[in-house]
């Protein structure tokens, strides 16, 4: 496959999906067919996802955020119950917790995996208990940040000790495994995203996966106005939404699945090249290496002395697109006002949000580009430092 224009001075964006011509033709065929809403392509896409992640049920939806909304609802959330979520993550899981009457409680992350740990979860749980909060009906959302699975055995052990249910926000982790088991095998349900910045895309889109048939039945109905078909009879079993994926998005998704192994192998080779080029640079720290990572984002953490905003601007003048990695949800205006946290317990999340720098990571970055990006980063840091 062609990785596009490889000239030395071309602009390298931070993210860009690869959609091949056969997929574009297949999407066109669906558009021409006259059936464009959820139909046979969505069913085929769900089957392909379930097969790829070796899981029994896959339910395609319009985004991961919609999927998280439905996953919480399927658990029949108890109003005011705590929902433990790592602070350093896109706030979808926290937003949907609020929308379903749960109370977000932010958990600290590890400085190099960027994920919550069994210990950080236990600390957040103990702090809730100390302040007299009831944990009944509580949920833990294990975010697999940037495509690296959270340490699920220790997270599940801590959750189970306190009677909490676990779901996986695997938005960034399609294709990730942990000790050989695919993301989605650890919690009651897991949710993938197919936004264009993810390891594969359907434009917008997501999918809930689970081995629990009753959960799958509940989320299938909730995504489609509450409808459930039983023995050929259509019944309305819940007050549902319209969170369906369209058939042309699913055709795009099927094309992406055909390319997926190649795209993932490319991301992994780019990550390895970044490690080689950036290891030992004194002004940044690298993320934890794992062969099981999807490298949805490659984020380094700049030293406190370096102004990240100025580095992003300096990289742009050198033709390289960079950006912040993610946010510390506990610091966002809404959550800091409505669900205040103790900032002392979330200092790593705050530092990652302030100093994390996402570098280009996609199919059109070539291994040969990485030295140019590393040199630009050294020059930019020296210029602003």
| Euclidean distance between CA atoms 189 and 157, whole angstroms | 17
- Contact call for residues 192 and 212 (beta carbons, < 8 A): no
Give the Cα-Cα-Cα angle 9, 312, 93 (nearest 5 degrees).
120
Number of CB atoms found within 10 A of residue 281's CB: 15
Q: Does 176 bind ligand PLP (CB under 6 A)?
A: no
Is 45 a binder of ligand PLP (CB under 6 A)?
no
Q: Are 233 and 177 in contact (CB under 8 A)?
A: no
Residue 202 to residue 245: CA distance in whole angstroms: 9
Instruction: State which of residues 53, 69, 103, 195 lies at the interface with ligand PLP (CB under 6 A).
Output: 195
List Cβ neighbours of 171 (8 Å cut-off, separation of 6 or more): 64, 90, 92, 143, 144, 191, 192, 193, 195, 198, 206
Among residues 90 and 248, whose Cβ is nearest to ligand PLP?
A: 90
Considering the rule CB under 6 A, would residue 172 count as an interface residue with ligand PLP? Answer: yes
Residues of span 283-342 touching ligand PLP by CB under 6 A:
none
Q: Which of 23, 38, 41, 92 binds ligand PLP (CB under 6 A)?
A: 92
Nearer to ligand PLP among residue 184 and residue 206 (C-beta) = 206
CB contact at 8 A, 116 and 86: yes
Choice between 92 and 380, CB closer to ligand PLP? 92
Task: State the residue for tokens 């949920």.
Answer: 139
Taking the CB of residue 234, how many other CB atoms lie within 10 A of it? 8
Burial 333-349 (b: 16+ CB within 10 A, else e): eebeeebebeeebbebb
From the list 19, 150, 171, 245, which residue makes contact with ligand PLP (rule: CB under 6 A)?
Answer: 171
Contact segment (CB under 6 A) with ligand PLP among 59-67, 71-79, 230-238, 266-274 equals 59-67
CA angle at 197 for the pair 92 and 273, rounded to the nearest 5°: 125
Between 245 and 377, name the residue whose CB sits nearer to ligand PLP.
245
Is residue 173 part of the contact set for ligand PLP (CB under 6 A)?
no
Please identify which residue in 23, 38, 41, 63 interacts with ligand PLP, judged by CB under 6 A.
63
Strand order in the sheet with 190-193: 57-61, 206-210, 190-193, 165-169, 139-143, 82-86, 103-107
222 binds ligand PLP (CB under 6 A): no
Given candidates 87, 100, 113, 193, which one binds ligand PLP under the rule CB under 6 A?
193
Between 142 and 312, whose beta carbon lies closer to ligand PLP?
142
Shortest Cβ 107–ligand PLP spacing (Å): 14
Q: Kindly determine how many residues on this chain lie close enough to bind ligand PLP according to the rule CB under 6 A.
A: 14
Q: Does residue 87 touch ligand PLP according to CB under 6 A?
A: no
Q: Where does this chain touch ligand PLP (CB under 6 A) — which range of 46-54, 97-105, 169-177, 241-249?
A: 169-177
Q: Which of residues 135-164 bind ligand PLP (CB under 6 A)?
A: 143
Retrieve residue 112's tokens.
Answer: 């190099």
Least distance to ligand PLP, CB of residue 192, Å = 8
Report the C-alpha gap between 255 and 92 in whole angstroms: 27
Of 22-30, 88-96, 132-140, 265-273, the segment contacting ligand PLP by CB under 6 A is 88-96
Instruction: State how far the Cα of 167 lies from the Cα of 72, in Å rounded to an integer.
Output: 9
- 137 close to 81: Cβ distance less than 8 angstroms: yes
199 binds ligand PLP (CB under 6 A): no
Residue 71, classed as helix, strand or coil, is helix
* Residue 169 binds ligand PLP (CB under 6 A): yes
- Smallest gap from Cβ 169 to ligand PLP, in A, equals 5
| Residue ranges binding ligand PLP (CB under 6 A) | 63-65, 89-90, 92-93, 143, 169, 171-172, 193, 195, 206
């Amino acid at each position: 496959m062609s990785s596009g224009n490889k000239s030395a001075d071309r602009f390298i964006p931070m993210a860009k999906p690869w959609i091949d011509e056969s997929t574009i033709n297949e999407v066109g065929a669906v558009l021409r067919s006259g059936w464009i809403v959820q139909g046979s392509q969505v069913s085929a896409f769900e089957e392909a996802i379930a097969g790829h992640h070796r899981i029994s049920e896959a339910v395609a939806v319009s985004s991961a955020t919609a999927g998280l909304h439905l996953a919480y609802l399927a658990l029949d959330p108890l109003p005011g119950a705590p929902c433990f979520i790592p602070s350093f993550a896109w706030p979808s899981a926290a937003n949907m917790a609020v929308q379903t009457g749960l109370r977000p409680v932010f958990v600290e992350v590890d400085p190099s995996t960027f994920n919550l740990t069994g210990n950080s979860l236990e600390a957040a749980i103990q702090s809730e208990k100390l302040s007299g909060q009831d944990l009944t009906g509580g949920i833990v959302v294990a975010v697999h940040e940037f495509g690296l699975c959270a340490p699920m055995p220790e997270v599940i052990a801590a959750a189970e000790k306190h009677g909490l249910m676990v779901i996986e926000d695997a938005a960034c982790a399609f294709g990730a495994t942990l000790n050989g088991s695919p993301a989605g095998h650890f919690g009651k349900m897991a949710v993938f995203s197919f936004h264009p910045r993810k390891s594969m895309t359907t434009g917008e889109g997501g999918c809930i996966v689970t081995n629990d048939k009753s959960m799958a039945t509940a989320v299938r109905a909730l995504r489609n106005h509450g409808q459930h078909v039983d023995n050929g009879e259509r019944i309305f079993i819940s007050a549902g939404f319209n969170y369906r994926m369209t058939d042309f998005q699913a055709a795009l998704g099927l094309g992406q699945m055909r390319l997926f192994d190649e795209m993932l192998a490319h991301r992994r080779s780019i990550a390895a090249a970044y490690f080689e080029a950036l290891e030992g640079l004194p002004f940044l720290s690298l993320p934890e290496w794992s062969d099981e990572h999807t490298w949805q984002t490659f984020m380094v953490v700049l030293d406190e002395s370096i102004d990240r905003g100025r580095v992003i601007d300096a990289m742009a003048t050198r033709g390289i697109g960079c950006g912040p990695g993610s946010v510390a949800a506990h610091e966002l205006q809404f959550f800091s006002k409505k669900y205040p946290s103790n900032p002392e317990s979330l200092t790593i999340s705050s530092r990652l949000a302030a100093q994390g720098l996402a570098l280009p990571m996609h199919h059109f970055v070539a291994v040969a580009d990485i030295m140019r990006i590393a040199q630009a980063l050294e020059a930019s840091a020296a210029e602003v430092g």
